Structure 1
Amino acid sequence: MLKGKYALIVLMVIIIGIVLAYLKASKVLNKVEVDYSEINKLEVYYKKNFYSNEFKYIFLIRLEDFNCTLCFNDFLYLSDKLNKKNKIFNNTVLYLVERDYRDFEIQQRIIKKWKQVNNISFEVGLVNNFSDKLGIKKSCVMINNGKKFDVIYFPFNQNDRKLLETI
């Protein structure tokens, strides 16, 4: 009888683990949203009047995050996909690269070359410290859902890939 109780407890722990893994994978536990007003508070070197709700996609990029090959490949995949549909997404995609330790002009030149090498046809701006101001600790793409931005981190998980296939 004692063995049966332990087997039941082990089975329950396994089932709970599977359910938690499923919830985490489906981002029910990890869903991140950012309000327009929070993004508009960022110090952005892009254009004078920056309003985040004008954009469908905003990439927040820390170049050092792209030392992760999976992250960089997912970034290139989505960028290429949007570039191919440039006429549809024209003026609705923005790349914001987080400022680093380098002089502003030097970083601007690096970003200009980086944009060219990676075949990015959309606007690229520099931003101060999105990590602390938005609580976003790594590179991501934010998708405007009409009320807020849904945050999808690089590298993408399986559910993110399915969602992004619809673009």
Structure 2
Amino acid sequence: MQKVLRYTIVVLGFFFLIAGGSKVFVFLTFAETIDNFIPYLNGIGTILSIIIISAEVLGGIFYIINYKIVLFSYMFLFIISTFITVLSISLVLNREINCRCFGVINFNFSNQNELILDFILLDIIALIIFVNYKLSNKKIKLNVVTFCLIVLFGLYIEYNFISVTTSGKLFNQNATSLNMQKLIDLENHYLFKNAQNPKLFLLIDFDDFNCPPCFDDFIEFNDALNKNQKNINRIYAFFAFNENDNILSDSIRLEYWKQRNNFKYSLFLIPYTIFESINLKKSSAILLDNGRVVFNEIIPMGKAKHQKALNLLNISDE
């Protein structure tokens, strides 16, 4: 039992050491994501990020050398709980985190799968704490039946939490919430009536580009869209600006920005009032087919939804 526990702790030590080190390379995105997704913590994402990265690296080292296991296990419980909080909020809001900061680094898992993996990690850490207490204090008595009931109850709570989080999507922006008449008016005003269907509208609020995951996700989606020249004339980007924003409303600057970021599709500037009148909450990708919304996702949306949009446009991302 002790050998199995020791091997498990060493493996987890290397995992946390690598995970903490990896976050250094996406530090700004990591900090910004925490600010964007955890309520009431706006502005301290940088401090919390430094604490989490330092704790993962130091905790990983101390796990490997078998020092203060219980203490650092409690610290890891706090870190994993933070990840679970962020991932849960992103799933409830239907906003994909695209920085690969949470869960398994550099693996293309969905936020839902990363949430499940974090819960598994949480259970393993909790089990390590319990076993250490049991080995160090022989007076603790817990029969097998009671232990199994506690484990099953905990798994039941976690299962229901994940189910509610991934299916509720309380603040999801859906097609019925859009002002379709305003969307059609936008289409009729800026596009030729004989434009091919389906059409992909990228409605962008420039303020969202202050969020690194949003900007990175948009650029990644843009790269995928640019790969198929045949259908590029069915993609239209609308950038919303405030009237007092001279930089964004300058068409020359925008054209330069378009060239620097390799946008090959049509790009239009629209007043922010139009963006609001369509009932958009954030920058979004909307696919229209003969006046019917067949795809509607808030940016950042993640690679899986990028591919879904490409499939609906009959564009191969290869």
**Range of TM-score over shorter length:** 0.7 to 0.9
Percent identity of equivalent pairs: 23
**Letter matched to residue 89 of structure 1:** I
Aligned length: 160
Aligned to 1:96, which of 215, 221, 238?
238
Q: SS of the residue aligned with 1:124?
A: strand
Superposition map of 1:88-167 within 5 A: 88-90=231-233, 92-100=234-242, 101-103=244-246, 106-128=249-271, 129-145=273-289, 147-157=292-302, 159-161=304-306, 163-164=308-309, 166=311, 167=315
User: Would you tell me which structure has more helix in proportion to its own residues?
Assistant: 2
Which string of whole-angstrom CA distances, capped at 9 and with x for unpartnered residues, describes residues 100-121 of structure 1? Answer: 2234995212211111111111
Superposition map of 1:15-30 within 5 A: 15-24=159-168, 30=172
Which string of whole-angstrom CA distances, capped at 9 and with x for unpartnered residues, describes residues 3-22 of structure 1? Answer: 9xxx7987665443221122
CA RMSD, aligned part only?
A: 3.7
**How far off its partner does 1:86 sit?**
1.7
* Unaligned stretches of 5+ residues in structure 2: 1-145
**Letter matched to residue 229 of structure 2:** N
Equivalent in the alignment of 1:41: 185
**Letter matched to residue 21 of structure 1:** T
Alignment check: 8 A CA contact 2:203 2:275 kept = no
**Letter matched to residue 263 of structure 2:** I
Query: Do structure 1's residue 85 and structure 2's residue 228 form an aligned pair?
Result: yes
Q: SS of the residue aligned with 1:41?
A: helix
Q: Higher Cα Rg: structure 1 or 2?
A: 2
Distance 2:306 2:197 in 1: 24
Alpha-carbon spacing, 1:98–1:162, altered in 2? closer, same or farther (3 Å): same
**How far off its partner does 1:71 sit?**
1.1
Alignment check: 8 A CA contact 1:142 1:151 kept = yes
Q: SS of the residue aligned with 2:222?
A: helix
Equivalent in the alignment of 1:32: 174
**How far off its partner does 1:35 sit?**
6.2
**How far off its partner does 1:96 sit?**
0.4
Q: SS of the residue aligned with 2:300?
A: coil
Alpha-carbon spacing, 1:87–1:77, altered in 2? closer, same or farther (3 Å): same
Alpha-carbon spacing, 1:37–1:77, altered in 2? closer, same or farther (3 Å): same
User: Would you tell me which structure has more strand in proportion to its own residues?
Assistant: 1
**How far off its partner does 1:76 sit?**
1.2
Alpha-carbon spacing, 1:21–1:12, altered in 2? closer, same or farther (3 Å): same
Alignment check: 8 A CA contact 2:232 2:264 kept = no
Alpha-carbon spacing, 1:43–1:160, altered in 2? closer, same or farther (3 Å): closer
Distance 1:9 1:85 in 2: 51
Alpha-carbon spacing, 1:143–1:43, altered in 2? closer, same or farther (3 Å): closer
Equivalent in the alignment of 2:202: 59
Distance 1:73 1:113 in 2: 19
Equivalent in the alignment of 2:218: 75
Distance 2:182 2:196 in 1: 11
Distance 1:112 1:122 in 2: 12
* Unaligned stretches of 5+ residues in structure 1: none
